Structure 1
């Protein structure tokens, strides 16, 4: 397990073996320390060992050699927050002008700090990533403020990379390519460091996974996104309202109407208070609540909501808008079910 955790990197495995031998540490204890105190463990060398050969020393010496390419350190700290493999290179397009970006990646690859897979993706060894995420006051390349900025920038780039329509099968390969990096980003730091960009990436990932039937993971993403939006923007912000609607819809898809309906009700109340009755978020909240009531067999509450949503949508969007036909079909379905029950 130690070899796997260290990515079978010969130097790292040699360092771990020497440390365990000199200190009497078991492999399992070493793994635990590696997880809890990465900076100390990466810098650790067994007594009499060659500390110049530790991973941390190699990291620092390499970046010292790259001081004439300051973008190199920025890129490493940025890439540290993603999954180690198959990082889409185009995530970095806005980081710098193409010549400077290409030069920095090329120099990092020459020093084996990153791997250019020549298929539009990059890879970074997990140990290099762990170092880049771990502040060290003695290492100028691992200042806490620089690492925090890289984390937030990584979230911003990831949120912007998702396609607008994750329901279009043409966009599914892109969504699948971004999911591991969304998971990597949100696994490597606690929710209290989430930004609105983190929440946006989580919302996109959650919506895609919900559409693919991975409802448990989707619910976790939507819950964390909503928590971030509420903390950062407040309960009444449109992004918060949209996020709460997404979470309710995920519960709805999972068949948990007991969780979905109260969220839909709260969202509709807030949307009607903060926005106007014809706002897209208000229409969506009301229509979704109507659908949940219908699923619960409460047609007496569902039908008036469907009718109000259709009236407001026709007023705001016009009778020829494609959404009108969808809303009208939902209302007729509920009315037909109500008539059948009455008969």
Structure 2
């Protein structure tokens, strides 16, 4: 899909917000480059005081970005954007009218804080106007608009300062800057209707979520690290280090101006051709290429020398290509990773990383120049950028499967995020995870209908796979099996037999097979999915860990504990490496591993893993009560094997009550706990209670699973045996 055509399909409100960005960037481009001159020449602050002011300004920008992210999630992106723009506009007007250095700095500081706070709000506002398929295009054009506006503003400032002098010219420019903020605020207030404030499902009201929830996302942590390194070694060196190098080397300053001009023009001109190359490519690879291009610009300056204007201009163009790749990709990754309830904070974290990287890069540049080692400036930048490029490899292993590749621009851009097919499936996932299966099914059915209407087979296959999983979760096994069989055939025909979409259907159908007793087919499907995902992502990917977990779970269902234990152990090792030892997902892997270790006779080791997992689950900001129920069921089994029957019965009852509350009393997952509880009663010489529980488990499973399903066979045999025990006792009593 051509990027120019994709830009034409951006929603009208998105285009108007971009127009506002263009106008506002003109104002900022006219004032920010002259900030030191404004504070020193116009307002009379000493150069030492200006240095302190700039440091305070940078700290305020970090605080403002963090505060803006929180405010965006709490009161809405529209409100924060309008308020921030209004505050920035007022501060600019005050800067124009200020009578001394302190008032002038206070106005500049207020404007800085406001701009930093509204940055995550604007990112959130833009991200919500389109689906994931058009976000790269949207953020790409946003970057072009900001650069074009900045270039126009810089040209306007040059004319104003040259014509009216620094004092009069800069005062007029700050008034223009204030007006540009006001125009942008009016555009947002008029065009964007409502805040679309999300319910903070991922953040508890007591505040234990917030930025802590963002920090627990490993992909987001690595994204922020990459941003910080790219800004410190690339953007800060370009905007601060390069001028310092030119000044220290006594080079022609006019050549520097041409380099900056070439960079700004290059960003605008290269936007379309570079964005055309991206769809279908790996995001992490494209980010790594962007950092490599930044390093290439510094290699060029080292190899050819920076004494010629042509070399500086070429380096500016190379850096423009890197910037055009990097900025839209990072913004897209952040917003695709974000959950709706935390999108403002995700964007706030990105802004903090940008500001922090610039602060670190500027400080490093100052230290190098101050030490008289200007020759080390570019080698240091190259080293930092290469570290960032290596970090993109790790990020590629952490990105969810649907985010690995850059999407092709689709044609559904007039819908807000929650109404696109991708947005609907994301919402269905949240509803499913919250236990609202009816709402999740309605949402998935809406997504399927939308995909049919839009002739989107890829989206329909993903939605049908999710629907099959929902039917499995709610115990409708036969219906799920039929749907997944048809969906697998459609995925193979559409994408070929070795695509990740086929692997997703294979995995879901195999999970169903474990529950219904179709173990051989389930193993074949799991292994096929594993082969596909290993070839696609390599050994150290999250989706591969999922298959390891599932193969271990299948072996446990078969009673083949020794064969399943290595699979579970590999899943634990991989998840721990990716997520850290205290992540709830790692705790869930410990639970699965413990079940297999217990079957292998390693009861003490299994109990240790279970109790550790239980502590992680119960300490989570939003505890998953189903996971807690599973742990209690497995701890009860250990008590049972030790002969601690009263403790086992108590734990089984707690687990059963939780499952019945979460899933319903007739859910097939309750049958496993019913059988375990019945066995504990049987071992405690309570055959009547055991017989009732066995019979109930069999009644749940008989319509749903194969006749030779192990749990069903145990339930039937147990019911028969305990009934015979009761008759024998009655006969003996007579």
TM-score normalized by the length of structure 2: 0.25
Structure number, greater radius of gyration: 2
Q: Which has the higher contact order (CA 8 A, sep 6+)?
A: 2
Point out the structure with the larger helix share: 2
